Amino acid sequence: MNITKNNIDDLNAVVTVEINKEDYSDKVEKILVDYKKTANIPGFRKGHVPMGLVKKQYGKTVLVDEVNKLLQENLNKYLVDEKLDILGNPLPRMQEEFDWEAENFSFEFELGLAPTFDIDLKKNAITQYAIVADDKMIDGQVENIRKQYGKLTSQDEVTKESEVTGVFTNEEKEIENNATFSLDKLEGKKNKDKFIGAKVGDTIELNTKKLFENDHDLMNFLKVAHDDVHDLDIEVSFKINEANTRELAELNQELFDKLFGEGNVSNLEEVKAKIKEDAEKQFVQQSDQRLLNDVTEELIENTKFDLPANFLKKWIQSAGEQELTVDQAEEEYAKSEKGLRYQLIQDRLIKDNEVQVQFEDLKAFAMQMIRAQMAQFGQLNPSDKELEDIAARILSNQDEVRRLTDQLLSQKLLDLFKEKANLKKKEVTYENFVKEVYGDSH
């Protein structure tokens, strides 16, 4: 057997695999001898079928099967041994007048080669947001806590201080959702006036455009998709089922102990410090995700290299269960090109910076996530054995292993970007972060 590679250009090559009779003849002969022993052909006793008849009936099928096995095994071994970095899979070149009656065979495969390129993490400065909880946010949280733990008093009629509970409906959009909100969440005097003076049991007709000050409230109260909520302009009905006022809870030690555990907080200033600390911990996750997205976009935009586009389109055509048309393959390639570019960039970053995910890293990462989830449900001090047992169950599931590996890899790449990228730090309030990153409509 002989395998050779001919480079067409930097991104395309053709591999030729030559298989000779001596590569397959012994194996084919052995299989046919076994067939002879077991063949059940009318007119002959089992095991006494003439070899000539066995070869005539099964010979070509066995030959094709064995040659194809040899072809795949040796081609794959060649790609590994030669350390060829290919995209997609080798594509067999169609040969007219291929003759299976010949003794020696030659097969050709097209290869799409991965490009070589350099990554410059320092090229352009990228904003790294440090989100702080300002006094306005902290005071708002204190107010929410006092409302949440305050005394609820039922009303027959809605006032401007009311909190209303009812059902939003719109038949055309199939909206029927229960919601509770205070009138200060509504945007504009006109909307608030529709509620003030209304009685429990009344139905109010509203338009969703500029109904709430925050589009995310509209999304949550109507249960519509994020992409659909912006500029949503439909009529909805709201039937008032309850109207209540809340007497704000007193800021006393009983409330502090209920919120933060006995004796951990003893005055309003300490409450505000705790709210600030907890909020800013959560903000780190959001700023980190934004940084990861921004560096990713920057790398895709400014790491220039060509791809073997024609090869990849041909490969996409035949890679799925059903063969695609040329136009469909073009469309799929256009949709997947950006992802492929980042995958190549990510692979290069991982290789150049020796980023690895070891099993012990994965186990520690899983235990950390489990501990955080248990803390949300009030289990603050689980034992190491308890964490290890849950982690072992999770890591026995291959889908979970893949999911956690991807998350941990993202975390390691984020750490790499924080260490090596050209970052410009910017301190913002959460409100300004949302405006700057997502725009005013969020």
DSSP calls for 346-358: HHHHHHHTT----
Binning the chain into helix, strand and coil, the percentages to the nearest 5 are: 50, 20, 30
Could you give the C-alpha distances from 245 to 161, 207, 252, in angstroms and in order?
6, 25, 21
Token pair of 258 as six digits: 């209920």
Sign of CA dihedral 342, 347, 352, 354: positive
Sign of CA dihedral 346, 351, 354, 357: positive
- Bridging pattern class, strands 163-170 and 175-182: antiparallel
Token pair of 339 as six digits: 């992802």
Could you give the C-alpha distances from 372 to 53, 254, 358, 423, in angstroms and in order?
71, 26, 21, 29
- Residues whose CB is less than 8 angstroms from the CB of residue 262 and which lie 6 or more positions away in sequence, other chains included: none
Location of each CATH 3.30.70.1050 domain in the chain: 2-113
Q: How far is 336 from 338, CA to CA, in rounded Å?
A: 6
10 Å CB burial of residue 312 (0-12, 13-18, 19+) is buried
CATH class for the region spanning 2-113? alpha beta
Closest CA to 437 of 293, 227, 224, 276: 293
What is the reported pLDDT for 440? 53
* Ramachandran angles phi, psi of 54, nearest 5°: -60, -45
Sign of CA dihedral 206, 208, 212, 213: negative
Alpha-helical segments (H) within 261-383: 268-302, 309-319, 326-352, 359-376
> How many CB atoms are located within 10 Å of the residue 186 CB?
21
Cα radius of gyration rounded to whole Å, the chain: 34
> Which stretches of the chain drop beneath a pLDDT of 50?
441-442
Location of each CATH 3.10.50 domain in the chain: 151-247
CATH architecture assignment, domain 151-247: Roll (3.10)
- DSSP 8-state symbol, 171: T
Q: How far is 206 from 238, CA to CA, in rounded Å?
A: 7
> How many CB atoms are located within 10 Å of the residue 237 CB?
16
Q: Dump pLDDT digits (tens) for 372-431.
A: 888 877 777 888 899 999 999 999 999 999 999 999 999 999 999 999 999 999 999 998
The greatest distance separating any two alpha carbons of the chain, rounded to the nearest whole angstrom, comes to 101
Token pair of 85 as six digits: 């970095």
